[in-house]
Structure 1
Amino acid sequence: MNKILSGGLVLLLVLGTFYALNAADNVANTKHNLSSSGTGTYKTTSTTEICIMCHTPHSASLNVALWNKTDPSGPYNMYNSPTIDMIVSSAPQLQSLACLACHDGSIAFDALLNSPGSGNNPVNWQWNNSWDRIQAGEPTRLGTDLAGEHPVSTSYDVTKDTRFNAPVDGKVNGLPIYGPDGRIECGSCHNPHDNQYPPFLRASNTASELCKRCHIK
């Protein structure tokens, strides 16, 4: 029995390592690789570490997924429309706030809780073109006015609007919703680790396929 349990544990560890490496490989080939091996416009020459720009294994933020970034302070102007029946939060919730740590443009990429290596060593960060954050005018720099963006931090409640597909086990046709109230967040449509479907979409949007996973059209 012990041998069987030990073998199962080893298998789980191997599989976990495989999937972790596979995710890292995907990120390595995207613009979210801000390390010296990155191929995008925004990259540093100061570290080869890829994951450190968002995650840390120790002393992480309690907010999300071993988060290694300083939270942006906003305040944010949220989406509002007389045609929306679902409840939009008054501020971005954690899963979307994590994305805004880079994409609102207010905080430098290297505003990390823990630096590479031991985490305590100061790093003299050097960035390509001295750009340490998304530049003004870039479409991926959303700023703090989210009124013109797809609503996030919005409870996905089909009882308030029947023109949406019902969720099953925390997902809507494979797209995740978050929290006990089942919120739409940036990660509902975007996968930050994989750019198979640009821009980091969770599925192809050919013929509005991604949109129609939630919207009944």
Structure 2
Amino acid sequence: MKKQIVLLAAVALAAAATSAFGLGSIVGTAHDLKGTYGTKNQGADEICIYCHTPHNPVQAIPLWNRNNPSGAGFTLYKTSPTLTAATQAAAFNDSSVSLFCMSCHDGVTKLGNIKNAMGHDMSGSEVISNTNNDRLGTNLSNSHPVGFDYASAQSTDATLHPIASAAASLGTVSGGSFPFFNNALGTGTMMECASCHKVHDDEYGKFLRKANTNSALCLACHKK
């Protein structure tokens, strides 16, 4: 009986380890700022504090711990004559989910610019490195459009899939089917950075929501 109990305990521990460090884990990825990738905190053993805090957050959802840049400082891709009027109206405002991403990837806001530091300090360079073109800057005019109402854009663009179809293909966020987001400009319809990227899971590289084999990620929205 004792041997069986020990064996069951070992199996449980192995399962827990697989769950913690397997697919869907931020541990060891580029978003693990205590890890070995680029700019990091050599002395900290906490992963979550660079984005989240359990108490007194900057924003209640998602218990946000970072001081985001102003949305007014960004230039978005919206000048192409082939874009719909809705896409050309793209803009960040202070409720834009993409500002969570840009609070590191703008290359200006310090990685350690958090509300509750938990007694830790960043070591080395305090802005994101550009090792893998991660420092996007504030001029996003050469990046995929974000900050626009996808449903409105699709209503006048036959080359885009309806939003329900695109959402189902792109997958879920924390168990909820909303790869399109809320902000002051739209409710559950906004295309943001996190529409294509899943920040806690690097299974497919570049934190993509799904493998882009045969352009599957692109074709979730685009009819080609």
TM tier relative to shorter chain: 0.7 to 0.9
Partners of 1:54 and 1:209 in 2: CA distance: 29
Superposed CA deviations along residues 99-152 of structure 1, whole A, max 9, x for unmatched, are 000000111111101112xxxx5x4x242xx12111357511010101000011
Counterpart among 100, 103, 121 of residue 101 in structure 1: 103
**Structure 1 counterpart of 2:157, one-letter code:** D
1:214 corresponds to: 221
Partners of 2:20 and 2:214 in 1: CA distance: 32
**Structure 1 counterpart of 2:52, one-letter code:** H
Counterpart among 122, 127, 141 of residue 135 in structure 2: 141
Partners of 2:114 and 2:219 in 1: CA distance: 37
**Structure 2 counterpart of 1:111, one-letter code:** N
Aligned residues of 1:61 and 1:68 also touching (Cα < 8 A): yes
Give the secondary structure class of the aligned counterpart of 1:182: strand
Counterpart among 185, 191, 201 of residue 184 in structure 1: 191
Partners of 2:168 and 2:204 in 1: CA distance: 18
**Structure 1 counterpart of 2:97, one-letter code:** Q
Q: Percent identity?
A: 34
**Structure 1 counterpart of 2:25, one-letter code:** N
What's the TM-score once normalised by structure 1's chain length?
0.78
Partners of 1:107 and 1:159 in 2: CA distance: 36
Sort the Cα spacing of 1:53 and 1:146 in 2 relative to 1 into closer, same or farther, 3 A. same
2:91 corresponds to: 90
Q: 5 Å matches for 1:62-141?
A: 62=59, 64-73=61-70, 75-80=73-78, 81-85=80-84, 86-87=86-87, 88-91=89-92, 93-116=95-118, 121=119, 123=120, 125-127=121-123, 130-135=124-129, 139-141=133-135
Superposed CA deviations along residues 74-105 of structure 1, whole A, max 9, x for unmatched, are 51111112111033333255210000000001
Partners of 2:65 and 2:81 in 1: CA distance: 37
1:32 corresponds to: 31
Residue 46 (str. 1) matches residue 11 (str. 2): no
Give the secondary structure class of the aligned counterpart of 2:145: coil
> CA-atom RMSD, angstroms?
2.6
Sort the Cα spacing of 1:100 and 1:126 in 2 relative to 1 into closer, same or farther, 3 A. closer
Give the secondary structure class of the aligned counterpart of 1:28: coil
Deviation at 1:64, TM superposition (A): 3.9
After TM superposition, the runs of 4+ consecutive aligned structure 1 residues lying more than 4 A away are: 20-25
